[in-house]
Amino acid sequence: MKIILVVGARPNFMKVATVYKAFKKNYPLVNVKICHTGQHYDAKMSHIFFNDLEMPQPDFYLGVGSGSHAVQTANIMIEFEKVCLEEKPDVVLVSGDVNSTIACGLVAAKLQIKLGHIESGLRSFDRKMPEEINRILTDCISDYLFVTEKSGLENLKNEGIPQEKIFFTGNCMIDSLIDFLPKAQNSEIKQKLGINEKYILLTFHRPSNVDNREFYNGFQKLIQRYSNNFKFVFPIHPRTRKNLETFGINISNYPNLILTEPLGYIDFLRLIKDSFCVITDSGGIQEETTYLGIPCVTIRENTERPITVEVGTNYLAGTDFNNVFNIVDDIINNNAKKGKIPFLWDGKAGERVAKIIIEKFNNHNN
């Protein structure tokens, strides 16, 4: 049996790493190969993530780089089809909601290769988000849909996906978090950044925020409002950095704002774990903070991960910074929600995914 695991952007790495390890540990005769599309093409960052997650370097690197959604998706399809025609895998496994997910999924489906999708069924119900289109379409063409939370089960049922394709496996990204928490504890990132006191961790990359001049007005008010009591740590996404320059906004002169380049997985995990709270527009960080019990304020109008709000530590603040301030004030006043760890976020999701793929393959061939 031959499986190709696809990674394209950094959030994919954490989800795929645990499945790769599960196959290597429990099914050593299965031929598992990794294809990196190069959608996130910062070689240094990719290398750090593979090292941090103790993954081998990919067997295939497509090197597609950036471009419009259409150009990037098309280039991935062209290059990944060559890999599939040469390798003839039995299963292609994609994860998440990036362009690599739908591009490689389409190639597999059209070549009639079995397709598995890690993190199926998540929905923001906002089709202005490119990721939402990618999620919906990938789920439509997948043979094995691996679900992280109960909303995913409900969404797939409502969309008419046959029940026999859907598997509630838990959250592969949480597997990686659990595996690497001890390693993160030994990270020296706080010493490198000179952090000795309470800090708030910031991450922003979503175009609806960082391409909007008005967003930075709220961002600056946030820093001014709380910087007497907290440091802020802000690893800047390349898109955000570019827009700050385009809008002529200088944030480097705030005394308690620590700006860094994007960080590797281990260093960033340490910063989440030790933070007072996280303010973000990310998807995966909503899940990581929920597992770690860290308050998370999500500056978005919707979330595809509602379990983090319903039972976790995530607050959906919308994009009005006055709401953000009210939530942060509540957290400061010890009124933060306690939160619980969602069902099946237990570090064994990758093993469940691998077991299901093996069983389905064996049943199909018997």
Looking at the annotation, which residues are catalytic?
205
- Cα 101 from Cα 35, distance rounded (Å): 12
The closest alpha carbon to 298, from 202, 173, 224, 221, belongs to 202
End-to-end CA distance of the chain: 13
β-pair partners for 146: 118, 167
What is the length of the chain? 366
Can you tell me the distance from the alpha carbon of 73 to that of 195, in angstroms, rounded to the nearest whole number?
40
Measured between alpha carbons, how far is 196 from 152 in angstroms, rounded to an integer? 40
Do the beta carbons of residue 84 and residue 62 sit within 8 Å?
A: no
Q: In what order do the strands lie in the sheet with 277-280?
A: 257-260, 231-235, 199-203, 277-280, 296-298, 314-316
The full 3-state SS of 231-284, as one line of letters, equals EEEEECCHHHHHHHHHCCCCCCCCCCEEEECCCCHHHHHHHHHHCCEEEECCCH
CB-based burial label for 130 (10 Å; 0-12, 13-18, 19+): middle
Instruction: Read off the tokens for 247.
Output: 């809008």
Q: How far apart are CA 218 and CA 233, in angstroms?
A: 17
Q: Could you give phi then psi for residue 275, rounded to 5 degrees?
A: -75, 160
Say which residues have a Cβ less than 8 Å from residue 8's Cβ, sequence separation at least 6. Answer: 36, 37, 38, 39, 40, 76, 98, 99, 100, 101, 104
